[in-house]
Structure 1
């Protein structure tokens, strides 16, 4: 078997730093509980701090923030997973801020010239050395191109890729260990989660991908004068430099500024909700980080979206399930909700269906007779995901991301207009999505897909059938039988075998001691109490066997 932590000698310094930070914040005992310290055999000190859950959640957030950009992003992703963490931890991780001191302008200048292949003075007429914003991966500066266009320039920090790759290697090592050695690691497929996280953070490191995301949003809203997406300047954009139009406005939560400029808060709240429901339910491509720092309002109530590093994607199948979930919530239809959850399950009929249905009834009953404005769609989605994980149903990751988006939107919309209901605003999109399935273009596309699938099946079926029959004729046909809970069966058989062996040894010891006792007077060992020792050994072993059977509760 390939040993875990094969790279920890190469990353010794970073491992040491991570262990020090974990221990400093009082989580060193987790290394012992998981068994990691036994594999790595590195000395570390830890403090067990018996605190309230809120204190533990706060320390977790502080620990991730201290560990740097990779772990900050990990915390932000974990904040979208109510199926993995309790609500109190989710609320703390949502507060993780990726803000650090800016790097010196000389470093920014080197990156600019290395990426764009010429001195920055030949591209920009003016470049403000003081950043508009600074984060752990990059920082944003205001500049003016030689053409006179005012732009925002996002520049990646030097060396950040190497550090993140080191952290990812460590995460893969730990995930592999936990999945191999712990039941919850297997259940939640930690390696799959880290693989998805790896893809997400690498996408954020590639500014070409972010530029393409911005371009796609620009195209999706090109016909909507109420939405402004900054235009990408492709000529000066690379993997580590992103140049966009400079946009100005007020932060969406700056209530005083909005009121002073005659902007109706209720209109902005309604428009913002519709913008995101269009992204999620119609476009299937949505901004996955709509916190107040990424949304501005310009003159005339125009909404500006910024920072397109984190996006979510939904295919037609998942959009339809999301609509069915929302309609089920609106109608309090438990059976329909249960059907959707079952479609997310790996097994056709997951265990505990009647219990899950009962809990869904209880959940829906809590919202009975409530006005829609008092029902938080994000809260209901999170409760559904928590219920699903309890019954070994794993909803798609995209639903968790949507739930987090709705939490952020709920907070903004409640601040702007407490009477605005996300569920109410989502209702018109459901029939639109249903009608889209029956448009001539969509029907034509679906029919073509069915015909292609049918053609593929018809052309490959004879060959596959012949291959199957040939394998059966040659005696090479193999059937794979998957036995669930086989490890538990083996462990019980081993216990039975051990007890049986112990019983035989005890019986042999008693019989042997009896024979020795009969022959003791004529034996060379007559003066040595071998028989007594044998009887005593048999008694101790018998008592041990009896106690173990009593403790197991199966005597």
Structure 2
């Protein structure tokens, strides 16, 4: 009993701590109104790993939070002390067996990196391969699962996420909960690494670290150690000089490979920030001398490259099914053609309607938004800014984008920022065009398409002769006064709901009036103790209950509408 009471006491203490910090930093109001992002960030850092991760996830969801708010949450930092080597060794022996340390000829005591989930140590296997061993902090899983349980209860009680009319807090919480539980599972990250390795290692200039599944568990992941200069440092050095051919090639390679991940693999790196990409120098490039004496990787331009690009950290990956890829290809093709109707149709296919929507208004707003881009070259379009504005437009029209698409858009925006620093003249849309074209050519059955067009043409030849007779019939009906015209208007469902609500109020009012009048007649009985008088009093009480309930309901709905408008 004592052991059972202790976890309950800890949970209760954690609940009080969360509520106290939320009150201190006014988190609920700030989240609801998208204000005081720095204050929310400090609150999340105070509350530790779970909230830091949730904040970082929110920063990748422009469909939920505004961009300034997301930018502030993206600054969240992990403030975690390093675990002593004895603790690390204990985790290794518990998960991989007591003799695990005999498989390493060297294991560095000091970690080379530490974050909220775990820390990374360098080691060397007996085969001589240098590896990076990532070990979870002890107790981190229990801490995060406890916090998620508490948050699950809080979300059921309050609507603290913004735009409650468009976003379902419970659904968003479930998405974050699932993502955190997946990130806690190192075996899943190991499988992601293995899959990404199979799809991208050796693809042109790209390299991916091997994963050693025999040395992985739910809390440990062991991968090949890849040396090189982080793209972050490379960009800092690149800022000091002119745009070189190498920088242009690296930018094109990164974008082309990312398009391949999206449109060919349906499995993409969702966090391609400069810290997760390394640049490795290779042998000297002799291509200028017209010789091919050295075996070197080729970049997408078919030129020998004197560098390799390495991807790291596969904890956050995006997955796209074939239907979603097809719809995304349609959107990219539509953006290239700048057809608002096609773009709108594509957006509807990758989104979910979560409220009353006026399609005519949506297409009209989209057309107005797209118009300034008509005379803008594709290379001049700020793709991240354009994507964020489209997300905002969808949100205003009660459209919520598929979470995988939101993750892709954030990754796309991060990548655009990177490649723009490498080569300011590059256009991600221009690089995307051949991939979308190839995808369409690969997946469209032109024989079926031709047959469908021929059938449409045949049907049209049959319908044309009937047009004259139908037009004559319509004119005759108009002349006799029998022509019927169907009128469709926007917000029909809302208008009907409002009329129904008004009728219901009138009916309730009549019933209450009848109840009060009837009760008044009954209580006029001379003997107040008769059952007839008591029936009248019961009628009064029932009417009072109805009135109080009706007023409370009306006030609640008014308050909800006021909060949504705010």
Q: In which range does the TM-score fall when normalised by the shorter chain?
A: 0.7 to 0.9
Among residues 221, 231, 238, which one is paired with 1:252 in the alignment?
A: 231
> C-alpha distance in 2, partners of 1:348/1:307?
34
Aligned to 1:381: 387
In 1, are the aligned partners of 2:30 and 2:37 still within 8 Å (CA)? Answer: no
2:23 is the alignment partner of 1:23: yes
Higher RCO (C-alpha 8 Å, min separation 6): 2
Q: Structure 1 347/394 Cα, relative in aligned 2: closer, same or farther at 3 Å?
A: closer
* In the alignment, structure 1 residue 100 sits paired with structure 2 residue 106: no
- Match for residue 220 of structure 1? 199
Deviation of the 1:150 alpha carbon: 0.8
Residues 1:286 and 1:265: Cα distance change in structure 2 (over 3 Å): same
Residue pair 2:49, 2:116 contacting (<8 A) in 1 also? yes
Write out aligned runs for 1:69-468 (5 A): 69-98=49-78, 100-178=80-158, 185=164, 187-254=166-233, 255=235, 264-299=246-281, 300-344=306-350, 351-438=357-444
Deviations 1:168-189 (A, max 9, x none): 111221222236x999657522
- The answer (yes or no) to whether the contact 2:161–2:167 under 8 Å persists in 1 is no
Residue-by-residue CA offset, 1:144-174 (whole Å, 9 max, x unaligned) = 1222211111001100110111111112212
CA change 1:199–1:510 in 2 (3 A) is closer
Report what 2:12 is aligned to.
12
Judging changes above 3 Å, is the alpha-carbon distance between structure 1 residues 88 and 251 closer, same or farther for their aligned structure 2 residues?
same
How far the C-alpha of 1:494 sits from its partner, in A, is 6.8
Assess if the C-alpha contact under 8 Å between 1:234 and 1:243 holds in 2: yes
Change in Cα spacing, 1:372 to 1:486, as seen in structure 2 (3 Å) is: closer
Give the aligned length.
Answer: 452
Instruction: Tell me the TM-score normalised to structure 1 length.
Output: 0.73
CA contact (8 A) 1:218 1:230 kept: yes
C-alpha displacement of 1:243: 0.8
Q: Which moved more, 1:263-272 or 1:186-195?
A: 186-195
1:192 to partner: Cα distance: 2.2
Contact kept in structure 1, 2:166 and 2:354, CA below 8 Å = no
> What SS does structure 2 have at the residue aligned with 1:427?
helix
Q: Is residue 350–residue 405 contact of structure 2 (8 Å, CA) maintained in 1?
A: no
Is the 8 Å Cα contact of residues 141 and 152 (structure 1) preserved in structure 2?
yes
* Structure 2 Cα separation of the partners of residues 484 and 342 of structure 1: 21
Q: Is the 8 A contact 2:186 2:220 kept in 1?
A: yes
Tell me which residue corresponds to 1:464. none
Q: Quick check: 1:109–1:120 contact (8 Å CA) kept in 2? A: no
Q: Which runs of 5+ in 1 are unaligned?
A: 1-6, 34-51, 444-482, 520-540
| Structure 1 match to 2:285 | none
The answer to which of 366-375 and 211-220 deviates more is 366-375
Q: How far did residue 121 of structure 1 move?
A: 3.5
Q: Residue 286 of structure 1 contacts residue 311 of structure 1 at CA under 8 Å; is this kept in 2?
A: yes
